[in-house]
Amino acid sequence: MHPVDFASIDLNLLKLLDALLKEGGVTRAGQRLGLSQPAASRALARLRTLLGDPLLVRTTHGQELTPRALALAEPLERLLSGVRDIVAPEDFDPATLQGRFTLASMDHLSTLVVPGLVTRLARLAPLVGVDVLPARGDNVDLVARGDADVAIGRFDADRLPANMHRRALYEETLVCVLRHDHPALDHPWTRDTFLSLSHVATTITGDGPGLVDDMLARQGLARRIVVRLPQFLTAPMVVAESDVVAVLPARLARRMAGPLSLAVRDVPLDLPGFTLSMIWHARTHRDRAGAWLRDAVSAVVDEREEERQPPIVGSSASTPGSRLAKRSKAR
């Protein structure tokens, strides 16, 4: 076999070979490719030199392909099919997609997103599984390393690396949860009432101040924290069995209030809302499977947003009179 300089190969010659195999003659092959008869003949001469075979010969029955040319038909079709997949891939069909998607998220966000995502995968992409990774800080590093396809959380766009893409999912606020028969509910729900209670605090690392404590510190105030947790889902369970109060994202609080018989109140502080977002790396930005996953996550969140949510009771609805009235009706 003679050595081949791949850098010098004209891939258009392979298109000519494909046309020769389909048409059986150089003139018709040229016409198939839009080449004049002289141009097709010159290209065939170059192809013969490249492959070391005449490829097409004259016989008493006309032009015939050589055994070498016929043997190249199958590998050439595979090669050209691969090229077509690269430059013009077939329409994406999630039903035929196989593999696993990996998400990085805080526990409460997984609770809000993953059930709906699993249902959506079962219906539209049944051959795909999903892995949810434990939270590691803000999870940006997991996405950067390729360990996670997407991460869901609170990300400030101006602090993300330049190679990260971000899509806002929804706006969130913080609320308070107490057990349904907590004594504090017999008093006006004010900042002083809030600060007089024992608190469970949740942070990503399980230590250090959070948003609430930072704001209180700026006002020269503090709350009594009796439990610190790295998981949001544990907090409402602690609240349900004790006198502590927890500050949680509103959507999680609403979801847990019914099953755990919790009362949901606003936070009697001037706390700003924040945006929950999804991030992914630039290297997967144009990947069609990755894009489908991101659209699926967004669709699940949108469906959650459309669900009717009970109103959060503020301080005006938490007076002792209204609380006692509710108890009288219960009796």
Residue 259 within a domain: yes
Residue 63 within a domain: yes
Judge if 13 and 133 occupy the same domain: no
Judge if 247 and 260 occupy the same domain: yes
- Domain boundary residue among 52, 87, 122? 87
Judge if 165 and 196 occupy the same domain: no
Residue 200 within a domain: yes
Judge if 227 and 301 occupy the same domain: no
The candidate with the shortest Cα–Cα distance to 245, out of 187, 326, 182, 313, is: 182
Mean pLDDT, range 162-175, rounded to an integer? 93
Q: Which pLDDT band holds residue 204 (cuts at 50, 70, 90)?
A: low
Judge if 102 and 143 occupy the same domain: yes
- Domain boundary residue among 87, 121, 155? 87
Angle at 313 between CA 311 and CA 315, to 5 degrees: 150
Judge if 119 and 235 occupy the same domain: no
Judge if 197 and 247 occupy the same domain: yes
Could you tell me the residue range of the domain that residue 199 belongs to? 174-272
Judge if 186 and 133 occupy the same domain: no
- The yes-or-no verdict on residue 117 having pLDDT over 80 is yes
Residue 316 within a domain: no
Judge if 193 and 246 occupy the same domain: yes
Residue 149 within a domain: yes
Residue 281 within a domain: yes
For the domain that residue 239 is a member of, what is the CATH number? Answer: 3.40.190.10
Least confidently predicted of 1-10, 163-172, 240-249, 308-317: 308-317
| Percentage of the chain exceeding pLDDT 90 | 44
Residue 40 within a domain: yes
Amino acid at position 223, single letter: R
Contacts of 323 (CB under 8 A, 6+ apart): 185, 186
How confident is the prediction for the chain on average, in pLDDT? 84
Rounded to whole angstroms, the Cα distance separating 232 from 247 reads 10
Residue 212 within a domain: yes
